[in-house]
């Protein structure tokens, strides 16, 4: 049952990226002392280290301490989860593939928060020298 739910979710994510229009320009970087909330769901537009495009959803949850966050990516290649710390307008994080999926990858990255609450930056895969790039746009509430 759990595998079929994950499979259906992945299919929905892949199909939601079909026919997608180019993302809107990002806002200016948020001032380090006035960063908007980053909690919630984001539409993700990205390029892997080889330049291949992918999309999906990033969800950011509150962590156990102030400025700590839990992250979950639902992308066309799988499901990943991670944790990060926000310092100023920089969210530094580590991530790994979700247990029970066919992937076994992990890595780290850093996002910059914009004045509009968008996130953009790089995400590395352990063992791969070049990073991928990602931009995340808040989904309407």
The model scores a pTM over 0.85: no
The tens digit of pLDDT for each residue in 45-98 reads 999 999 899 999 999 999 999 999 999 999 876 899 999 999 999 999 999 998
Q: CB–CB of 96/105 below 8 Å? A: yes
Q: What's the sign of the alpha-carbon dihedral 22, 57, 54, 133?
A: positive
Domain that includes residue 45, residue range: 2-138
Q: What is the CATH number of the domain that holds 19?
A: 2.40.128.120
- The C-alpha atoms of residue 141 and residue 134 are separated, in whole angstroms, by 21
- The C-alpha atoms of residue 71 and residue 117 are separated, in whole angstroms, by 15
For the chain, first and last CA: distance in Å? 29
4 pLDDT tier (thresholds 50, 70, 90): very low
Residue 67's region, left for phi above 0, alpha for psi from -120 to 50, else beta, is left
The DSSP call for residue 31 is: P
Domain count for the chain, please give it.
Answer: 1
């Amino acid at each position: 049952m759990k595998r079929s739910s994950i499979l259906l979710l992945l299919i929905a994510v892949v199909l939601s990226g079909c026919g997608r229009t180019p993302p809107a320009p990002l806002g200016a970087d948020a001032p380090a002392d006035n960063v908007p909330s980053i909690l919630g769901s984001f539409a993700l537009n990205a390029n892997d280290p080889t330049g291949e495009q992918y999309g999906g959803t990033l969800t950011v949850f509150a962590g156990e301490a102030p400025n700590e966050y839990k992250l979950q990516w639902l992308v066309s290649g799988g499901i990943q989860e991670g944790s990060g710390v926000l310092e100023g307008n920089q969210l530094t994080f580590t991530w790994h593939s979700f247990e029970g999926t066919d992937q076994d990858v992990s890595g780290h990255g850093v996002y910059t928060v914009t004045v509009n609450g968008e996130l953009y930056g790089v995400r590395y895969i352990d063992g791969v020298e070049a990073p991928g790039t990602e931009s995340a746009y808040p989904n309407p509430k």
